[in-house]
Structure 1
């Protein structure tokens, strides 16, 4: 347990975790220029090289930690495909392991763990004890990030045991230090310091300066957790000095934030601000999202303590933006899980209906059997009344057909009702998400008593409420008029007016993701289509584009005349998709879950509505897409002819 300190604050808003991975940092010596050359070879001359040379070239690219994770992932997957084709056990192990590293850096820990386990299984064929230790250490780190203390220690100890047996001092020290960090994060400070002591002795003996710096820094973090600020400062300053010489900036950003905590505890806000600003600058320079988030929160806290609410508000806003960006994958996963639960419940309801229908059919069949028996007895006893029997059978047949027709009509009405419920839920997601962002900003403005910001927020909020009210009115009017089928009432539509409403609806959502939403619409452009279904088409296309486009991206909406049609183009700079995925989306009743930006997921409902409504309006649709470059949807709807 941490010792009590008279001025120590409980750092409930963050948990610092540093893990030193030598085996992933060794490739940093590869320059961008060399990587570009290798990528050029892969893209232009690969077919002329041998299989083994292709695998070596791909490895040089995907192990280059200076490249963006998505670029590394692209070439690692190429290597995995080639290794499978060649049935090469060694390269299957190496590629699966690096895919685990890449997905870990992308923050997709579940997928990372899947590839690590695949590498571990592949190594059973290779029977390489060093590989076994390497993968177990990586698996331990994933469990540590997921706060699974038991499994994190279990896999870490497997690696430590192997490195002791083969007398690999450097990797033993790395794994001892990482295990000590697991104990520190879980507040087992005595055990943590024991592991740090042993790993530090080894690093000092072998002269490994970076490893020694991490170890000293982790000891400093432990003393900070225990409330020993003086010891913490001494160790952290020493670690920062070494790491600055070695050019390793991530831990420096973390340590500077801790130094800011220490001086804040001493009420020395000037030095606390200096360290917090240093942490933010380093994090921004090297795109360290988690540390940008934490540094902004620390600066907001410090400025509040100094009554500088303007700067506190700015850094709080930055903190919320980066926090939401980092946590977006978790939110998408929650939405996918809710969708899965919905599908399961829906399936169970369908099963219940089928059971009830079978029970009803059984009763009908039993009744018919009784009637047939009675009719048989009547035929035997009243042979001369055969015409009456025929008339009775005809009446029964007509009633059966009438009952079946009524059942079919009820099923159609139920299907339409379910479809309307899906439409309403899907179309309301955008405005509700906008309200969530406005609520967060409003709370901050209330806390800071900023009346001007509240007035601005009120105007935006009022505008969003009007948009939502309009959306609900359209949906409710539409559902009231339907009589078992979705209504189709074509009319003259001013397309420019329709687009202005759409931009107003999605403005806040685009702003929250820092996405540019542009339009390029010809003047005097009119459609001949059903207005409600056309709005649904456009809402779903823009909503999907926002969902699968990274922050800072761009979405454009264009429209122009083409013969008797108006061609509507919705283009985004999002993650894109392969042709196989496009074929799946264009298939009938496809609701397959798909991944978007940073692991985002969609269930395909919106596109199903788009396909159905385009067809209903006598139009056509096609899709063009390219991985990592974006997607373009083209919708052809009839043009209004005067």
Structure 2
């Protein structure tokens, strides 16, 4: 029995912190959003809300009492009394807190939090039946209660029933709270809930159910930095192992308990010293203020000088904070730019590697073809000679396109590309680009069909549009069969013009299409290794389409061909 008493005492110790844990979840941002809507510029009210946000409760109480003298509107006073009641509650002055809460009207936007706090105060004062009544009121206004608050209310309801020795209701509420907290993954509240439900079962001699919860609480306590929680979890496990007659493990947990206890004691000593120093500083400051107040009657000029000095110090503080924030922002910008630079360097290295390989291959191909041509030029027939020259022209044209893409890519990266959107005749642009591809079409006997109606206007930059169409045509020719068909057409889609380039070539599978459409600046080698290509063209098309506020889509079926669809705005 003494072990069970020890565990019950442990859970009672833990319960003392539950209320403060719940109040850490108060949505201050939502509260101050409502305060800002009031647009109240009264100095004392502004200072009250400022210190409330800083959780400096003594300062809240000082300035709120002054604010009540200058504000007679009930809706404003509701906020002041709420902040005063909350501050008294945090200082554990529950009688004063209740008096302030009583002065708040029920139409106050955060009145449900007052009900929550009244229930918590009743729980602290061990008036468990009254606490349950407050908690049950919250069940009727669930829309205003957040998921965190809901789990905390249900949990505290279970604790109240536990103290009333109604173990069935205590178990039901605690398990429901645990379920909600597990969804929200609130580690600190879960540790407490696991300990509480374990003690409820332990009080009913259901050791086999209780012990796993103690173990869960202990495992989670290893993931938090709160010495108090670690200490209680270790103490619980020590008592459990001692009750199991496993004294070696119990001793180990006891040593761990003492370690956390020493850490907590040191932390509390540091906190006590800090609080003492703070009180001493406040006391000293108050003496200085009193002294200045008496001197003000004799030396008005000194008071003005002190006021000016205070403003200067405040200004310097603001400037210091501003420069500190700017320094952090600059550091973040430099870090981000460094990461982007590293990524660009990787892209550059990969680009140079692929481009140099492809350029070397294409130039070597022209070189070898010209050597063979020179050796056999006298014996070659006109038709065969034409084919060789046409092949060389095709290879040179592809190499030229690669170099042009490289130049455009470098221009984009350095943000030097001139860009001006205007009304552009799509049919005319297609005709201009088509002219440069006539030798390539002839080399594979490809039929090109421009089915775009005349006077089809889109809103785009003309130079970047030509780069897009030229790269798409180049790819279509590369991956088309001899005697293939390449066509372009357009249609209206809502307020946009859809431009489609279609071929009946080798096509691509879904994996290749997805890789081409990925949001990445890294380059990939084309699948057809016999053709010159780096994937740079598609990257340029996607980037330039985005700059033109156009969408870029690829549809392809392996063995049947590819469609590239772009949707531009109408002028």
TM over 0.5: no
With structure 2 as the length reference, what TM-score do the two structures score?
A: 0.40
For the pair shown, the structure with the greater C-alpha radius of gyration is 2
